[in-house]
Amino acid sequence: MSNDTTTSGLAFDIQLSTRRRTPQEREAILENPGFGKVFTDHMVTIRYTAEKGWHDAKLEPYGPLSLDPATSVLHYAQEVFEGLKAYRHPDGTIACFRPEANAARFNRSAARMAMPELPEELFVGAIETLLAHDGDWVPSQADTSLYLRPFMISTDVGLGVNSPSSSYLFVLIASPSGAYFSGGVKPVTVWLCEDYTRAAPGGTGAAKFGGNYAASFLAQAQAVEQGCDQVVWLDAVEHRWVEEMGGMNLFFVFGSGPEARLLTPELTGTLLPGITRDSLLKLAPELGLPVEEGRISTDQWREAATSGELTEVFACGTAAVITPVSHVKSSKGEFQIADGKPGPVTLRLREELVGLQYGTRPDSHGWVRRFDR
Ligand SMILES: *Cc1c(COP(=O)(O)O)cnc(C)c1O
């Protein structure tokens, strides 16, 4: 079966799967989806060539991509991705949180990797098309969502490296997800990594680029060996300025009650500009919490935690929303943040953000984009 739906100029050819899971099979999967393990019935693909620009947009059955072994991405890792979620609102509709911001960041990542930009209407149109057919995969239990993973790979065939690829493939896949770190707001223990760096000035740290993750797995394994849940990245030059935690940005809370104020590492080009981070920079002051973008060193972190001036630390990102950090380990020893329990500022911000995403709080920022079916 094939018919067209048009989004902003480019028509999506619709090729429905003949092996769609039954409603019963889907419901059974949605009971306990885990994270990033199961995928919906369809995916969206759009091709790019230097001659034709973006073309051949389609919704097709979810399935393997067929690639020549000499395909550029397999050798030189020219790849960028995004991560966002579709949420089920109380009235049954589906919404995404700031998808335009993901589209814009996708293009900034692409530009860094010398890849073509994808017009925002196509990025959002791909989401709209997938949700129109796989919307039933957006779960409705608390803290669940449909995780959307748009990505782009270089597809020129050949091993030459003198120029970037001239052809690309954009793909959007979707995976129903439960809570990312099981247990919801369970605090994590972090490892301050001094042996490996994630990103250097002038490098690729601000791009959502698969290679940043490839380079991080060894440090993450070291963190786990040290009994920690996550790695904290320090700057590449002095190994003391805190940058981010795994795939999440960090916030530090100083003082408490009406005195509470927040600090998050400034965007220096070596950390990923999170959309959750950006949203909290706007939400916190509205809740009476002053917030500053600045620097914090590992020594300052330890001293402020020891003196009690530092009252809470949390990480934030789309996948795990807001996760408290309770313990910090490094080659110099170990310390705890306050009583090691999720703090009131962490929980208040989490409640506000989750309320906006799940449509239980009014959206005064125009951040919620509904995809009505
Ligand atoms: C995606 C990501 C984040 C968080 O970004 P959000 O837009 O908030 O999801 C933080 N750090 C890294 C390295 C990331 O890849």
151-174 average pLDDT score: 95
Q: How far apart are CA 129 and CA 351, in angstroms?
A: 30
Q: Hey, what are 167's tokens?
A: 């052809």
Dihedral angle at the C-alpha atoms of 224, 229, 235, 241, nearest 10 degrees? Answer: -130
- Tokens 């959750």 correspond to 276
Residue 277 CA, closest ligand 1 atom number:
8
Q: How far apart are CA 210 and CA 110, in angstroms?
A: 12
Positions of CATH 3.20.10.10 in the chain = 188-357
Q: How far is CA 71 from CA 57, 76, 157, 166, in A?
A: 21, 9, 4, 12
Question: Is the beta carbon of 249 within 6 A of some atom in ligand 1?
Answer: yes
Fold of 2-177: D-amino Acid Aminotransferase; Chain A, domain 1 (3.30.470)
Question: Is the beta carbon of 83 within 6 A of some atom in ligand 1?
Answer: yes
Residue 316 CA, closest ligand 1 atom number:
8
- Phi and psi torsions of 141, nearest 5°: -70, 160
pLDDT class of 184 with cuts at 50, 70, 90 = low
Q: How far is CA 115 from CA 159, 209, 306, in A?
A: 17, 12, 46
pLDDT score for 5: 56
Q: Report the half-sphere exposure of 243 (CA within 13 A, side-chain side).
A: 28
Q: Does the domain spanning 188-357 belong to CATH 3.20.10.10? A: yes
166-182 average pLDDT score: 88
pLDDT reading at 3 higher than 70: no
Interval 6-22: pLDDT, tens:
555 689 999 999 999 99
Q: What does pLDDT average to over the chain?
A: 95
For atom 10 of ligand 1, which residue has the closest CA? 248
pLDDT class of 162 with cuts at 50, 70, 90 = confident
- Is pTM beyond 0.85? Reply is yes
Interval 243-293: pLDDT, tens:
999 999 999 999 999 999 999 999 999 999 999 999 999 999 999 999 999
Q: Hey, what are 150's tokens?
A: 């748009």
Residue 278 CA, closest ligand 1 atom number:
8
Q: How far apart are CA 4 and CA 277, in angstroms?
A: 38
Q: How far apart are CA 12 and CA 248, in angstroms?
A: 33
Q: Hey, what are 136's tokens?
A: 């039933």
pLDDT reading at 373 higher than 90: no
Candidate from 242, 249, 268 with most ligand 1 atoms within 8 A of CB, to mutate: 249
- Cα 354 from chain centroid (whole Å): 15
At 168 the three-state DSSP class reads strand
**Orientation of helix 275-286 relative to helix 344-357, angle to 10°:** 110
pLDDT class of 372 with cuts at 50, 70, 90 = confident
Q: Which of 320, 329, 328, 206 is nearest to 268 (CA)?
A: 206
Question: Is the beta carbon of 344 within 6 A of some atom in ligand 1?
Answer: no
| Bridge pairing between strands 94-97 and 2-7 | unpaired
Q: Which of 64, 61, 55, 52 is nearest to 14 (CA)?
A: 61
List Cβ neighbours of 142 (8 Å cut-off, separation of 6 or more): none
- Tokens 């947009």 correspond to 57
**Orientation of helix 99-112 relative to helix 120-134, angle to 10°:** 130
pLDDT class of 178 with cuts at 50, 70, 90 = confident
pLDDT score for 320: 86
104-114 average pLDDT score: 98
pLDDT reading at 183 higher than 70: no
The answer to whether the Cα torsion of 66, 121, 98, 128 is positive or negative is: negative
Q: Hey, what are 292's tokens?
A: 């500053």
pLDDT reading at 179 higher than 80: no
Positions of CATH 3.30.470.10 in the chain = 2-177
**Orientation of helix 99-112 relative to helix 275-286, angle to 10°:** 140
Question: Is the beta carbon of 244 within 6 A of some atom in ligand 1?
Answer: yes
Query: Residues of 126-145 as b/e, b for ≥16 C-beta within 10 angstroms?
Result: bbbbbbbbbbbbbbeeeebb
Q: Hey, what are 237's tokens?
A: 């030059």
- Spatial contact of 205 and 199, defined as CB atoms under 8 Å apart: yes
Residue 84 CA, closest ligand 1 atom number:
9
- Phi and psi torsions of 161, nearest 5°: -125, 20
